[in-house]
Structure 1
Amino acid sequence: MSVIKPALQRPELISYFSGANNYCWLYFRNGEKKLLAKPISYLESQLPDFIRVHKTVLINPDYIKSLDQPPHKKMAGKVHLESGEVFPVSRRRWLQVVESLHNHSSGSRQGEDLNSFPEKANASLADLEHYSPEASVFLMTSDAEKAAQTERLISDKWPTYHIHIEQDSMALPELLTQLPEQEYPSLILLDARTQTTERLNTLQRLKEDSQLSHIPVILLVLPTEQLISNGYQKQANSVISMPIGYSLFEHTIERICQFWLRIVRLPGATIYSN
């Protein structure tokens, strides 16, 4: 089950979000963090009371301890969190941040000094009802139609798996290394039919990383001998050749998932009886 929905229902447990391309790190008040397959702009739209202090940071105003004015009109200000973390406040957002925080302070803390917020009790991630670590499949593709087909397929055939779909795979190795090992994806699908160089580079980096090399990576390529050879040279677990617009794409993905999610035994994976 995705953590996004229960987290949005309990915003008081969240301290801030930090964006990374089309992903976003969610930082809880108790120090735990989770990687979400959502851009920070999506979280901002879902949590209108949170304050966007920078293009990559969205903060729970209840967690802000103080603000530092920009030392010069061409410099950024700073926001201090109760945890001691400090983030820059971009110049163009400064007045908006001050106004938003003042309005929030006036509405929820009548008569309190903006620079002196009371301590909050540490909230626990366990307080999120229905939360459980999710098994996942990552698909990197620029083909929106095939992405939609894959998402429907996974939801229908393997509902216990959450699928993360992104166009850009460059940041994937760095993002995965920040996850606990038990939250690594069960399968990564790299669609290299239109972004060959990027996907091959990502594949190589994944397989050269001792932490990530055991994650199964399936490379989808155009039907040429050179691309197939390149995929195996960079240690893809399987290389699947298919042209753009391949009519049996969904059927092929289903067979891949059936093999890697049900038949193959991987260290630490759940054992299925069916």
Structure 2
Amino acid sequence: MDVTILLVEDSPTDAAILSAALDDVGCQWPIQIAQTGDDALALLGQIDCRSHVHPQLILLDLNLPGKTGHEVLREIKRNEVWQAIPTIVLSSSATPNDIYKSYQLHANAYITKPTNFSDYQLMAQKIYDFWLKTAQLPART
């Protein structure tokens, strides 16, 4: 699995907007999109435990068909191979309960989705600058 960013997003429009915003800010890292929680877990399940090749970052929506984002987050953070992958919840929900539960399940950050493209670009720039250029992420081989 040669993916740097795993975007778990059921809305093709939101996925396209975020991908375009990341591209606009200079992010050339490959993005794999999973439209359901089950698809995301299946993609992560392809990780070879011996090679430790994995996404560098997971961007996770909460409102997904099938398994919810919280259920996916729980499985990611319980899995010995996946738990070190920084996982950012990216949701339209700003409810305190969703935010609290996400951090309780060990999300690395919680970001409420912007409502316009310029705000998406600003958010994408911040994600790119911090998570992909500044932070030390788990080594890939």
User: Quick check: TM above 0.5?
Assistant: yes
- Partners of 1:237 and 1:262 in 2: CA distance: 16
Q: Which position in structure 2 is the counterpart of 1:195?
A: 64
Are residues 1:250 and 2:121 paired? yes
Task: Report the Cα distance in structure 2 between the residues aligned to 1:173 and 1:195, rounded to whole angstroms.
Answer: 13
State whether residues 228 and 241 of structure 1, in contact with CA within 8 Å, keep that contact through their aligned partners in structure 2: no
In the TM superposition, residue 240 of structure 1 has moved relative to its aligned partner by 1.2
CA distance in 2, matches of 1:260, 1:173: 22
The answer as to 2:95 corresponding to 1:224 is yes
CA drift of 1:269 comes to 5.6
| Total equivalences in the alignment | 134
Alpha-carbon distance in structure 2 between the residues aligned to 1:261 and 1:166:
20
**Structure 1: which 5+ runs fail to align?**
1-34, 36-133
Query: Would you identify which runs of 4 or more consecutive aligned residues in structure 1 move more than 4 Å?
Result: none
**For the pair shown, which has the larger CA radius of gyration, 1 or 2?**
1
How far 1:232 moved relative to its partner? Answer: 0.4
**Cα pair 1:224 1:241 within 8 Å, conserved:** no
Are 1:175 and 2:46 an aligned pair?
no
TM-score by length of 1: 0.44
Query: Is the Cα contact below 8 Å between 2:15 and 2:33 reproduced in 1?
Result: yes
Identity %: 27
TM-score, structure 2 normalization: 0.81
**Equivalence for 1:143:** 11
- Name the structure, 1 or 2, with higher relative contact order (CA <8 Å, separation 6+): 2
Contact 2:7 2:34 in 1 (8 A): yes
Bigger helix fraction: 2
Q: Which residue number corresponds to residue 268 of structure 1?
A: 139
1:240-262 superposed Cα distances (whole Å, 9 cap, x missing partner): 124xx612233213211221101
Partners of 2:43 and 2:7 lie apart in 1 by 14
The structure where strand makes up a greater share of residues is 1
- Using the TM superposition, give the Cα deviation of residue 135 of structure 1 relative to its aligned residue in structure 2, in angstroms: 4.8
Question: Which amino acid is 2:72 matched to?
Answer: T
Assess if the C-alpha contact under 8 Å between 1:177 and 1:211 holds in 2.
no
Question: Is 2:23 the partner of 1:152?
Answer: no
Q: How far is 1:227 from its partner?
A: 0.7
Letter in 1 for 2:74: Q
AA in 2 matched with 1:260: W
